[in-house]
Amino acid sequence: MSARLKIDSLHFAETAGRMSGECSLQELSRLHDLLTSREGTLHWSLEGGRDAGRPVLRLGVQGRLKLVCQRCLAPCVHPLTVEAILPIARNEEELALWESEDPLLDGLVAEPHLDVRDLIEDEVLLSLPAIPRHPIGECGQADD
């Protein structure tokens, strides 16, 4: 994904668009402060469709991130799995109505030039643990 990939989000949802690809961690600059290594690639897929009567984008992202364990400060591998369902509202008013019906809704306002890489970056950041840690027993401090 060297060139910026953009879609018309509402059109993509309503026409059941499909695309997938790979994205290097180098390209996701907003993640860089959290990573101990920028090497690696994320696999992503995007599908348009409907959910609960609303046009949606379904975004899947898989990969492995090296984060910093907040207990021992050593790198810890985080297996990343994002599966987001993102309703696409026509405008702010429609999104506000949907959010009043469903406070957990993770919706977006229709965007004729939605940057797919920005969307992936947003959803990956949202999915990360607030405090990354090794699993119990695998932490560097577990031996102390």
Contacts with Zn ion by CB under 5 A lie at 69, 71-72, 134, 139-140
Q: Do the beta carbons of residue 51 and residue 87 sit within 8 Å? A: yes
Q: Cβ closer to Zn ion: 46 or 69?
A: 69
Quote the least distance from Cβ 20 to Zn ion, whole Å. Answer: 33
SS3 55: strand
Residue 58 or 71: which CB sits closer to Zn ion? 71
Tell me 7's DSSP state. Answer: E
Which of 85, 139 has the CB closer to Zn ion? Answer: 139
Q: How far is the CB of 80 from Zn ion (least distance, A)?
A: 18
Kindly list the distances between the CA atom of residue 66 and the CA atoms of 41, 118, 138, in Å, as whole numbers in the listed order: 12, 20, 15
